[in-house]
Amino acid sequence: MVLIMGPPGAGKTSALRALESQRRGFGRFSVRDYGLDLFRMDDDLGGLVGPPLLDRQQLADDLVMRLFAHYLVRFGGLFDVIVSESYPRGASQCKDAEVVVDRLGTCIAGLVTFSISNSTAQERVRTRLTCQSCGRPQVGNTPQQCDYCQGLASRRPDDSTSRFVQRLNNYREHAEQVMEFYDKRGTHFAVDAEREAGLVVADLDHAVQELVNQSSQVL
């Protein structure tokens, strides 16, 4: 398993979905996406996490840990590589994630971070829409039909200028703790997300494979 982090607007989800479509045996865990999937399935855990996720609230650490474990138990044996997008957040969640993978007899190979300036992130979200049904990001200025599922793509409320700045600040604070955690192990790659999307996807692919190979050699 490889962890993926980056500030809002860095293009993490788009890059991971592109990589997911290019490679077989590649799984992606996202707290929001997986939690809402379970909610739509009327799963008991989905019933707990669905309403706050729909309101874009932060889940308590214990619920996120349960979602992470649920995903790994359900899909861990089906994929060659699993990436976890934006989880863990902060030092305490790093410890939670390590407990889960250790309990399940697997490991976290390392961390890949998307590097992007605040100004570039802010510029990107000015023309970013997010589908309310499938959650896929796309480009636009006004609400429109989703390119993927035909749902409604619109601006996220937390992409407004003041709230977005707060989200960036929150990310920087939590990301520093996670990077420090994995820097100590020498298992942290950074991807320059300021560049063209194809280059970012290629670098992400390389970083993930390097971490997986290193982890296999250690084992």
Domain assignments of the chain as residue spans, ordered by start: 2-125+158-218
- Would you state the pLDDT for residue 182? 92
Q: Quick one: three-class SS letters along the chain?
A: CEEEECCCCCCHHHHHHHHHHHCCCEEEEEHHHHHHHHHHCCCHHHHHHHHHHHCCCCCCHHHHHHHHHHHHHHHCCCCCEEEEECCCCHHHHHHHHHHHHHHCCCCCCEEEEEECCHHHHHHHHCCEEEECCCCCEEECCCCEECCCCCCEEECCHHHCHHHHHHHHHHHHHHHHHHHHHHHCCCCEEEEECCCCHHHHHHHHHHHHHHHHHHHHHHC
pLDDT tens-digit profile of 35-53? 999 999 999 999 999 999 9
Q: What is the pLDDT of residue 219?
A: 44
Chain segment 165-196, per-residue pLDDT in tens: 888 988 998 999 999 999 988 899 999 999 99
Average pLDDT, the chain: 90
Could you tell me the pTM of the whole model? Answer: 0.85
Report, as ranges of residue numbers, the positions in the chain whose pLDDT lies below 50: 219
Q: 2-125+158-218 adopts what CATH topology? A: Rossmann fold (3.40.50)
